[in-house]
Structures are given as structure tokens and as C-alpha cells.
Amino acid sequence: MKPRPSFPARLDATLAKTRPNPHGAVVSTAVAASKSVAQAALAKPTVVPTARAKAPLPHAPHMPQGHGMDSQAVRQRMVQKLAGQGVTDPLVLGAMGAIERHRFVDSALVNQAYEDTSLPIGLGQTISKPGVVSRMIELLRNGATGRVGRVLEIGTGCGYQAAVLSLVADEVYSIERLRGLHDKARENLRHLRLPNVHLLFGDGMAGYAKGAPYAGIIAAAGGEAVPQAWVDQLVVGGRLVAPVVTGGGTQALLVLDKTPQGVRQTLLEAVHFVPLKSGIA
Ligand code: SAH
């Protein structure tokens, strides 16, 4: 067992003080009691666990069936395509096959859920393409055979990538700056009961220092540069994968390795992500 920083224990202590709200979600009493949730979040992101009980299976058999997307076969076809595009990490391919992407998009878009395309999720944001999600998570894992340690995701969106990450990492902290999407992700993830996913509402530009250090940081929104806070919150030996704006307003995938000798950065292929923005809304 790898030694783990004391943070989860302290977080659990905080969560022990949580109470269920009428909709069955869990809210932090500290935040619920404050006058302005938004103001509280500015100072300190809200931690919302997606499940209280441990449940091993990442599927939801009690959900409505019958639109043809419930079949494992449709996901397996997607996984084969991802493998054909060069994704080889068995844990990543397994996770992509297990998480039902159609449950994260609007019903009108369900038929496109297993195509390699980004789709709108509201508030001008998108769920990333499966090809990009699997590529970035494979890069993040950097050849690990088992699960990687604690991971921070910037840009929860609808929660899809957080769900995939939950199957390949020990703990997932995912932060979103738009309240509407943070709530949507909480709703989407509730049925999956993923006890190792922690949703945060706040500005991910500052990372989430309380969870640091992270074995991996993955961003789903692209800025001009990688915020120093992200690098600071990465463990030595950890890896960050993020879209960054390059010349001419285009974006490319950046892989940043934090080594004992310093930071090593590698720019990879062009990508198209929504912009990384400051503040919360
Ligand atoms: N991983 C998501 C992709 C969502 S798109 C999914 O699987 O659906 C990227 C998200 O990043 C958007 O929801 C956007 O609101 C969010 N975002 C942009 N800047 C951010 C910031 N500074 N902090 C947190 N989230 C941010």
C-alpha cells in the first residue's frame, strides 16, 4: 500500500457531519448553513460525495431501459474503435466499456452517445469525445498497471469523465465552476454510487489544495497556460494532462511531468476544448 496523505481522513470527518437533503443527495451542513453558497464556494469549494453507501457495480439496472443504448454491445463497439485509435490501457478500455455515456446526455442526443463526438450538456458546455477522454486518461495513467492514486479533474461538466476516472484511480476530486452543471453531475452520478468520486463546486483555476498532492491532474477546459497551483498540487512523480492554447488560438494537449529534477512538458496533438474560465457562475 502506498502511504497516503492524511487528507481523506479529515475529509471523511467532514462528511460524517453531512445530512441528506429532501432529494436524497448529501449536502455539507457547513455549506447548507452558510448565507451564500456561492460566497462560501469562492472561499472554499463545496465537497459533495456522490454516494454514501459502497456499491461495487458501475451500472444502474433500475434505470429506464428500452432505447437500444442499454446494450453492452453498443459500448463494446465504441471500445473497439478506441482500441483501433491506439488506446491500449486495459483499465481505461474497461472503464470506457463500463460507464454508460448515454445516461450523461439529454434524451434527444442519446442516439449519438456512442459516436466519437462531443455533445452539448447545457450552459454552452460539452461532454468530451470518448476518443479524447480515453486518450487523456491513458496519458494521465502513464502506463500504471493498477489504479493510479488520487486524481483532480478540472471541469466536471456532466460528470462523465469523473465516472470513468473513478474506475481507474483511487480517489477522484472533480471541480466545476458552473453551479448548474455541478448539480447536473451530482444528479447523473447519484445512481452510480461511486464512493471515491467527490464533486466540488468552485473555481478550478486554484486547483483544490486540500486534496493535494495529486498523482494526476486532468483538465477538461483549455487556458492560455497551466495555472501554477496545479503544478504545485501535483506530487513529485505525478502527471498533468490538459489542453492549452497554442499559437493562433488553437489548442494542443499538454503533458506535464513533475520530476525530482523539475517540470518536463510535452505538447501533443491538437484538441478542441471549451475555454478555462475564472470565477464561479
Ligand atoms: N469532463 C466533462 C467535460 C465538461 S466541459 C464531462 O465529462 O462532461 C469542461 C467544463 O469545464 C465545463 O463544464 C466548464 O464549465 C468547466 N470549467 C471551465 N473553467 C473552469 C474552472 N476554472 N474551474 C472549474 N471548471 C471549469
Domain ranges of the chain: 28-271
Q: Is the pLDDT of residue 200 over 50?
A: yes
Pick the residue whose CA is nearest to atom 2 on ligand 1.
Answer: 157
- Cα 170 to Cα 195: distance, rounded to the nearest angstrom: 10
Task: Look at residue 48 in the predicted model and tell me its pLDDT.
Answer: 56
Ligand 1 centre distance from Cα of residue 3 (Å): 30
pLDDT digits (tens, 9 = 90+) for 259-272: 999 999 999 999 99
Task: Show the ligand 1 pocket: residues with CB < 6 angstroms.
Answer: 121, 125-128, 154-155, 157-158, 160-161, 175-178, 181, 203-205, 220-221, 274, 276-277
Write down the pLDDT at residue 69.
67
- Of 34-38, 44-48, 122-126, the least confident: 34-38
**Is 245 in a helix, a strand, or coil?**
strand
3-state secondary structure 225-258: CCCHHHHHCEEEEEEEEEEEECHHHCEEEEEEEE
Q: Is 119 helix (H, G, I), strand (E, B) or coil?
A: strand
> How far apart are the C-alpha atoms of 184 and 4, rounded to whole Å?
31
Q: Is 55 a residue whose pLDDT tops 70?
A: no
Would you state the cell numbers that stand for residue 87, as one nine-digit string?
488506446
Q: How far is the CA of 160 from the centre of ligand 1 (A)?
A: 11
Record: fold of 28-271:
Rossmann fold (3.40.50)
List pLDDT tens digits, range 142-193.
Answer: 999 999 999 999 999 999 999 999 999 999 999 999 999 999 999 999 999 9
Asked if pLDDT for residue 62 goes beyond 50, the answer is no
Q: What is the phi/psi pair of residue 229, to 5°?
A: -55, -35
Between 26 and 212, the higher pLDDT residue: 212
Average pLDDT over the chain, rounded to an integer: 83
SS3 state of residue 271: strand
Residue nearest to atom 10 of ligand 1 (CA): 155
CA of 39 to the centre of ligand 1 (A): 19
